[in-house]
Structure 1
Amino acid sequence: MNGHTNGANGAAGARVLSPGIFAPIPTFFAPDTEDLDLESFAAHVVRLAKANVRPLVAGSMGEAVHLTHAERTALIQTARRALDDAGFADMPIVAGTGTGSTRETVELCHAAAAAGADFVIVITSGYFAGALTRDALRAYFVEVADKSPLPVIVYNYPGASGGLDLDSDLITELAETCPNLCGVKLTCGNVGKLTRICATVSEPGFAAAHPRKNPRAPFLVLGGFADFILPSAFVNAHGAIIGLANVAPHACARLFALSAAALADPSVLPEAQRLQGIVARGDFTIAKASIAGTKALLERLYGYGGAPRRPLLPTAPAAVQALWEHPHVQELVAAERALCGKQ
């Protein structure tokens, strides 16, 4: 995690995919019409950027499956404009482009590039999960990577792709043979799988043996939950893409920084362990409330959040209150406020 960028040095003026914390940004909607609330979206992207958390637009937390192609484009354009205007022109945008078919996924990759995204993340197609053999899954990512104008992150999320769960052998094979793949997000939560993949792609010789098509886009191994950021540092993973970073961006970014620092300075480890515990407990509790619960917490914290797009329903007021008062959530909020200077 600390410096393991597989040989990417970047180029002047170019955005680089580097280790760190990424947040799948929620898509906010007007309460009566369900139209995009781009003002709140832009404000949230900038809020997270100030905490050194990078945006992933139109991902699972962003309800991508409920968005039209035009809405995806509008979100990417809004995020890019907001970042540029706030002085974060060097911060990259990752856009979710995975859909049911290979053809439409490739189409969305091109649309994301035209809208201003820098990298894309592609979930395994799961509607016909029972018919997708290992060969079909391999062919899907090979073709998408080959045809996408942007480097592609593989998104392994069995819960949203019909139970399909890519194993470490297939992911490692894809990393070795597809130069336009730039990483994997493991929302399977399998730390053993993460360790096995890192044992190959985080080795010093990997970049020379398997160079990337874009040298600014090394192959990163990213967790999908906040509860193993510290352990993953010690197997040379590269951070995480986590919904919790929407609620507690400073705490998540600080945990990543401490985890990286602990590799070289064991004296930082106790503080990293303490914060990991706070973040892990908060993640465990908030994740059970899903998208609606995260949005409800954002409403409490920042004054925007709103409801998901139907058929998802908002969290009932009593459940929101119980979530807010939960000791794990209050502990996380206190840590976040202390780190960002707000008591």
Structure 2
Amino acid sequence: MAARVNGVHPAISRPLKAGVFAPIPSFFLPDSEDLDIPAFETHVVRIASAGVGPLIAGSMGEAIHLSHAERLVLIRAARKALDAAGLPDVPLIVGTGAASTRETLELTAEAARAGADYAIVITGGYFAGALAGNHAALKAFFTEVAEKSPIPVIIYNYPGASGGIDLDSDLITELAMECPNICGVKLTCGNVGKLTRIADAVSGSAFTSTYPRKNPIAPFLVLGGFIDFLTPSAFANGHGAITGLGNVSPYAIRKLFDLSEAARTDLSILPEAQRLQGIIARADYTIAKTSIVGTKYLLQKLYGYGGTTRKPLPPISPVAAQALWEHPHTQALVTLERQLSGKAQ
């Protein structure tokens, strides 16, 4: 890999490829709430070793609870851990969205210097009343960030974390066409029709030749924010998903992605993809309802680390935790993950 000299981020050499990605939780020590770096490094390597890409400082990573300095610590720790594990080609996607355009650009530049290969940016929701539905203002925000970012930018559309701001397919398609440093979108709005429209617009050689990316190894990817419609999205020319479920079951979601892609050219594979999609979709629905604390609880239960969130996010109650673990959707996923990871018990 090219070295970073004097804090300058070189041309990226870790391609962004279609696939499945997991927004990595930020782990905290129980008493101090300081970052638990050993747990974080262990988890990043566990996920990447299963063929799932890590995303640092996203919603699941409680980015809103992290200082700038802490984000940089996590980026450097992730890169160091991946390199030490023999995974130097795994790219790092890092959340850099903030309330203002100015701070977003500062965070993005800092992340790039620390080792981020790609930024994923959400709109700040504090002034959602003025921004929601304001096509010109939202377009100006992403255009400026993309033009000034030293690394390619992924649009993050998550109304639940941005005061209800929901980017429509027309705006996202315009940004894809007009901003060559934008390399994708994550749709945590769960709108399958929106995904279909955007994927259709950016698929094929006509888009690639007419609207080339600034960096040819950073193509425009259309990614779901949930894993429960991965197989249907593959047939609509989607490119995968960024999903919190990847933390709990990386082997299962990677297998689902591979089967779904293969089924596009060999329909005999489709029934098995559909079977896995059913198991994973039900688990995604059940586990997602418990949010970050549920995912961390399951990691603690399965792998011995996870812990809790930073205050003021409350921990999961013992009753809810037991119900989550014993739920048949969770148990079916755990069984599948153990089978695919070679750790069936």
Taking structure 2 as the reference length, what is the TM-score of the superposition?
Answer: 0.95
Aligned to 2:287: 286
Q: Deviations over 1:19-70 (max 9, x none)?
A: 0000000000000000000100000000011100010000000000000000
Q: Using the alignment, how far apart are the partners of 2:308 and 2:124 within structure 1?
A: 26
Q: Deviations over 1:306-336 (max 9, x none)?
A: 0000000110112111100000000000000
Residue type of the partner of 1:239? G
Q: Deviations over 1:264-309 (max 9, x none)?
A: 1111100000000000000000000000010000000000000000
Residue 43 (str. 1) matches residue 29 (str. 2): no
Aligned to 1:208: 209
Residue type of the partner of 1:149? P
Residue type of the partner of 1:68? S
Retained in 2: the 8 A contact 1:21–1:256? yes
SS at match of 1:222: strand
SS at match of 1:154: strand
Q: Using the alignment, how far apart are the partners of 1:185 and 1:325 within structure 2?
A: 31
SS at match of 1:22: strand
SS at match of 1:36: coil
Aligned-pair distance for 1:203? 2.3
Residue 91 (str. 1) matches residue 90 (str. 2): yes
Residue 333 (str. 1) matches residue 334 (str. 2): yes
SS at match of 1:226: coil
Q: Deviations over 1:191-250 (max 9, x none)?
A: 000000011101221111001111110000000001000000001110000000000000
Retained in 2: the 8 A contact 1:179–1:211? yes
Aligned to 1:157: 158
Aligned to 1:342: 343
Q: Using the alignment, how far apart are the partners of 1:113 and 1:159 within structure 2?
A: 27
Aligned-pair distance for 1:13? 8.8
Aligned to 1:5: none
Q: Using the alignment, how far apart are the partners of 2:233 and 2:244 within structure 1?
A: 17
Aligned to 1:303: 304
Which structure 1 residue ranges, 4+ long, deviate > 6 Å from structure 2? none
Residue 252 (str. 1) matches residue 273 (str. 2): no
Residue type of the partner of 2:30? P
Aligned to 1:190: 191
Unaligned 5+ segments in structure 1 are: 1-11
Residue type of the partner of 1:74? V
Residue 317 (str. 1) matches residue 318 (str. 2): yes
Retained in 1: the 8 A contact 2:12–2:117? no
Q: Deviations over 1:153-208 (max 9, x none)?
A: 00000000010100000000000000000000000000000000011101221111
Residue type of the partner of 2:269? V
Q: Using the alignment, how far apart are the partners of 1:124 and 1:264 within structure 2?
A: 37
Q: Using the alignment, how far apart are the partners of 1:179 and 1:68 within structure 2?
A: 30
Aligned to 1:32: 31
Residue type of the partner of 1:256? F
Retained in 2: the 8 A contact 1:13–1:90? no
Residue type of the partner of 2:150? P
Q: CA RMSD in A?
A: 0.9
Q: Work out the number of aligned pairs and report it.
A: 332
Aligned to 2:6: none
Q: Deviations over 1:105-145 (max 9, x none)?
A: 00001001000010000012211011112111000000000
Aligned to 1:131: 130
Identity of aligned residues (%): 67
Q: Using the alignment, how far apart are the partners of 1:150 and 1:178 within structure 2?
A: 13
SS at match of 1:21: strand
Aligned to 2:113: 114
